[in-house]
Amino acid sequence: MAALTPRGISFGRLEGNALRRAGLMGHDAAMAQQQHGAELTAASFLDRLTELADPAQVAQFARYFKTGSGEYGEGDTFIGVRMGTVFDLARASIGMPVGELEKLLESEIHEARAGALTIMNEEAKKKRTPDARRTDLFDLYLRRHDRINNWDLVDVACRYVIGAYVFEKPRDVLYELAKSPNLWQRRTAIVSTWYFIRAGQTDDAIAISELLLDDREDLIHKATGWMLRYLGDVDRARLIAFLDEHASTMPRTALRYSIEKFSPEERAHYLGLGRAKG
């Protein structure tokens, strides 16, 4: 299973470990406790973020999230707030009105958008969250997907805001997203299947993985491999059947991610099949 940082915050195991190595994860529970009862507005959230900003961290964030010219995060703006601190602020802001969440999503500041999506994720996870609120969060995520424009922003929210929401509903929206020209919408499609896999339902993960086999984006290859690896925890035979059919042609990165828990001999076998894809 992909590691959660912390439990319920959706980063893939490799991505979460990389964040920690890069020094971008932080934790300040005392600070979060001080925020309880604070005004639940985008402006107040942004004020708190600004107070916690560390300009010395900005260059590191920018490198890690690929904000340079021609990179996938080109033009994204960071102010240097560690992600663990953003998560703490978000948990202290549960219940923020949808209109205020949308204002945070509209912010040019990456940490503000991450905060909004973490609030949405935390609420979508809670059993006591009203159905109407879940619908509002689902609609907001899809309506403002234009502001969910980096891998961490997708991963932090889609499994519960999208995946859990459609679990007992038609799942057509995931197939529409999987066919989108937008990288981040396609990532939402595959990562949202995590919720189904956890419940023992693997059909959609397999079907969407197949739709994405010819995708050119490395971040889609990583996400697909992550979901396939997780699927293997639930139904190893189905993962093996998928690999037997597709290992020779699937993207190398997706293949490597999907077989991480295999024995050295099994990994060598499937990597050998996939060598021609390189």
In tens, the pLDDT along 166-208 reads 999 999 999 999 999 999 999 999 999 999 999 999 999 999 9
Kindly indicate the confidence band of residue 39, based on its pLDDT and cuts at 50, 70 and 90.
confident
What are the Cα distances from residue 142, in Å, to 50, 117, 147?
27, 12, 10
For residues 68-79, give the mean pLDDT. Answer: 92
| pLDDT 10s digits, 116-163 | 999 999 999 999 999 999 999 999 999 999 999 999 999 999 999 999
Kindly indicate the confidence band of residue 112, based on its pLDDT and cuts at 50, 70 and 90.
very high
Mean pLDDT for the chain?
Answer: 88
Tell which CATH architecture fits domain 172-278.
Alpha Horseshoe (1.25)
Q: What pLDDT was estimated at residue 274?
A: 65
What is the Cα–Cα distance from 194 to 201, expressed in whole angstroms?
A: 9
What is the Cα–Cα distance from 205 to 202, expressed in whole angstroms?
A: 5
Contact 231, 206 (CB under 8 A): yes
Q: What pLDDT was estimated at residue 37?
A: 45
Contact 122, 101 (CB under 8 A): no
For residues 213-220, give the mean pLDDT. Answer: 96
- Give the length of the chain: 278
Q: Could you tell me the residue ranges of all domains in the chain?
A: 1-166, 172-278
What is the Cα–Cα distance from 105 to 140, expressed in whole angstroms?
A: 10
Of the candidates 114, 104, 87, which has an alpha carbon nearest to the alpha carbon of residue 40? Answer: 104
Q: What pLDDT was estimated at residue 1?
A: 35
Residue 260 tokens read as 């991480």
Angle at the Cα of 55 from the Cα atoms of 49 and 61, rounded to 5 degrees = 85
pLDDT at 219 over 90: yes
Q: What pLDDT was estimated at residue 19?
A: 47
For residues 68-84, give the mean pLDDT. Answer: 93
Angle between helix 183-191 and helix 218-234 axes, rounded to 10 deg: 0
For residues 104-119, give the mean pLDDT. Answer: 98
Contact 133, 96 (CB under 8 A): no
Cis peptide before 6 (omega within 30 of 0): yes
pLDDT at 17 over 70: no
